[in-house]
Chains A and B, each alone.
Chain A
């Protein structure tokens, strides 16, 4: 079971970024994917969750309106797009799989494995 994320990005304030997370080694549509970010030297912040089964999403209030998570079942890939980037969006962005299949956000939310992380730098 593996999640492989796209490469590092450098963006200007106000731009958008789209990070991909390609899954392998399991039935993609059976599990949800969560996105977590980590600012430099800081802790972990949950961004949101998407069901790879039906595309249902749940986003953190802090970024709702600026984030969209989508799936492409033909390539077993999850995408996270963040718009109107600000300097405080500079962070390592991780995708991570639910440990339970057919779960939703009312169930157990524990994440394993994680992708390797994608560094997004927002700078003018």
Chain B
């Protein structure tokens, strides 16, 4: 199975900060990478698919990039409503697997 490693595991930042989360795949997954947001007590929500494409209705402050084994997810200006855990997920082969998550907090 392909292992997905996210860093950091948790992140504390201030309102207005630009924040970046990285996701490393254990083997080349091309651009077969998605990003999800899970707010406390809620189901995950798809933000980014194919590494860099914004899901319909998702604000443009969210962005993703990367190819192969190294990927990044960025929030351009952190707002209080962005408090959540963020997960990457590959779909290069079955089983799809998720990163362990990055918990984002406001300072």
Contact = CB atoms under 8 A, between A and B. Distances in A.
A108 B89 CA distance: 11
Interface of A: 36, 43-46, 58, 60-61, 94, 96, 99, 105, 108-117
Contact of A46 (B49, B98, B101): B98
A109 B49 CA distance: 9
A99 B47 CA distance: 12
Contacts of A110: 34, 46, 49-50, 55, 89, 91
A61 B50 contact: no
B88 to A, nearest CB: 10
Contact of A44 (B32, B91, B98): B98
Nearest to A109: B91
Given A112-B55, A116-B43, 9 more contacts: A36-B44, A43-B100, A43-B101, A46-B98, A60-B95, A96-B43, A99-B46, A109-B91, A110-B49
Contacts of A115: 43
Interface residues of B, number: 21
6 contacts: A43-B87, A44-B87, A60-B95, A94-B44, A99-B55, A108-B32
A58 B55 CA distance: 25
Contacts of B87: 43-44
Contacts of A99: 46, 49, 55
Given A99-B55, A110-B34, A112-B55, A46 B95 contact: yes
A115 B44 CA distance: 9
Interface string B33-49: 01010000001111001
A58 B44 contact: no
B43 A94 contact: yes
Interface string B78-107: 000000000101010011111111000000
